[in-house]
Structure 1
Amino acid sequence: MRRGNYGYDAPWALAGLVFGGLALLGLAAVSFTFDVPAPGAVFLLGGLYTLASAGSHLYTTRRGKFAVWAGELHRLKGDERVLDLGCGRGAVLLLAAGRLPEGRAVGIDVWRSRDQSGNAGQVTRANAAAEDVTADLVTGDMRDLPFGDGTFDVVVSSLALHHVHRAEERARAVREAYRVLRPGGLILLADLRHTAAYEDVLRDLGMTEVRRRDLGWRYWYGGPWADMWMLEGRKPVLTAASADRVA
């Protein structure tokens, strides 16, 4: 159980599913009351399905995503520098921080509330205190990261990159993530959309061990039609032989 206050991902979408499901059940009740069973059955099934989707969304935002990311971050040794792109309230950032007794977790965001209820830097700091971990918070744009080349051992991101509206700007953010990653470092980018495009960018940059995979039912925002994908890879280590070829 997490002790911080992490809000609800896409709260308006969740509210829409709940109210939509209840409205359909109301229409089903009216249909059966007036002895119109066929539409009533359709409304009933639609309402139950919509409420089940709301349950899936609620489970993911409150439990499922934490379980998935805990598994992903299990590979940390404890002495890494980890950067979270679009860290929000710190759901992933603070999980990472708890696994870094000798390392450091850094989160960057523009601190907006449209995509997650009550999202602000002070909430993230309060969550860090509640979880009894420390993390550095930086206000900045993931398309122009204020860090030097090769600063971090691991770069992570969850549900952040797709909020960048233009494809070329999303590609720029992925290139920035690659730039600040040290040779041999790991990148983990989870998103609902565009992960195939992110993969193309990383492959063009020369990243190795690239793979893209479905994160499964624990990360469904309503159902399999709103599933999350993870893109991971490692920045190649520049050996003496490869340096000679580049030269």
Structure 2
Amino acid sequence: MDAPYVPTLYGAVGVGLPAWGVVSLAADGLTPAPWALIIGCLALVSAGLYMYATRRGKFVVWERLLDELALRGDERILDLGCGRGAVLLTAARRIPEGRAYGVDLWRSQDQSGNDPAVTERNAQAEGVADRMELHTADMTRLPFERDRFDVVVSSLAIHNISDPAGRASAIEEAVRVLRPGGRLVLADIRNTRQYGACLQRLGLHDITRRGAGARMWWSGPWMPTSVVTGTKPSRVAAGEGTARP
């Protein structure tokens, strides 16, 4: 579950406010305040939407995003902030002749049960452990050489970097390790305009930013997910190819 404290908080509010109203009615004969019941119901709905997004919705969305890449099956794919492998393993299933790499700091506040051993077990269960590698690394300082990957993806991870400079560094690293002609797909709940601006500054083309849809509403339409994509120019397009006579 992503950020498990969030649905826990919504659930506590959703149960606590109506319960307070019932106790007040029983103890003092006071009619429960309408706002308490309304807010309590909204909190429970928000908790339900959040649970759907984290347990089912994000998987459906990422299946569609990976479909759009039309992978050949032999790519090298990097997942920034891979967690328990929701996106990483979905990508690995699509590249029987390729390799999927995941990096994470494995913090439980970002995702419940966030541990490389859990991701390894999930990979074994999915039958993709032989085509996957996990690395403990900061996405602002990736342990990979330049131009290594055909595709770089990230789901709900870069926003965990608190400062704009750090987020920009993560985008710069993602572009650095992406091969010329490679594609980048970033899904996040905040800062996606900054991501797009960074990609534009770094010279990527075909940059898009769009909503992921209701399946990735994190409690409601006030917290949607946006998807930013871009393609790294080829060396020739970037002026790095053989000079013309």
TM-score normalised by structure 2 residue count? 0.91
Distance 2:24 2:209 in 1: 46
Q: Partners in 2 of 1:14 and 1:189 — Cα distance?
A: 23
Task: State whether structure 2 residue 216 is matched by structure 1 residue 219.
Answer: yes
CA contact (8 A) 1:22 1:47 kept: yes
Residue matched to 1:138: 135
- Counterpart of 2:38 (choices 24, 38, 45) is 45
What SS does the aligned partner of 1:59 have? helix
Pairwise CA distance, 1:119: 0.7
Task: Indicate conservation of the 8 Å contact 1:107/1:137, yes or no.
Answer: yes
Shift of 1:28: 3.5
1:112 aligns with 2:107: yes
CA drift of 1:30 comes to: 4.0
Q: Percent identity?
A: 49
CA offset at residue 43 of structure 1? 1.7
CA contact 2:76–2:100 (8 Å) conserved in 1: yes
Shift of the 245–132 alpha-carbon distance from structure 1 to 2, 3 Å rule, reads closer
SS at match of 2:209: strand
Over aligned residues, Cα RMSD in angstroms?
2.0
Query: 1:5 maps to which residue?
Result: none
Instruction: Note if contact 1:210-1:234 (Cα within 8 Å) is conserved in structure 2.
Output: yes
**Distance in 1 of aligned mates of 2:41 and 2:195:** 36
Q: Which amino acid aligns with 2:37?
A: L
The superposition leaves residues 203-230 of structure 1 with CA deviations (integer Å, 9 ceiling, x where unpaired) of 0011000011111111011111211111
Change in 2 beyond 3 A, CA 1:180/1:40: same
1:40-70 Cα offsets, whole Å, 9 max, x none, are: 3222221111100000000011000000001
Structure 2 CA distance, aligned partners of 1:108 and 1:66?
Answer: 19
Bigger shift: residues 68-77 or 10-19: 68-77
Find 1:210's aligned residue among 203, 207, 211: 207
- Which of the residues 10, 26, 45 maps onto 2:3? 10
In the alignment, does 2:57 pair up with 1:64? Answer: yes
Q: Distance in 1 between matches of 2:128 and 2:238?
A: 42
Q: Say if 2:180 is the partner of 1:187.
A: no
**For 2:179 and 2:138, how far apart are their aligned partners in 1?**
20
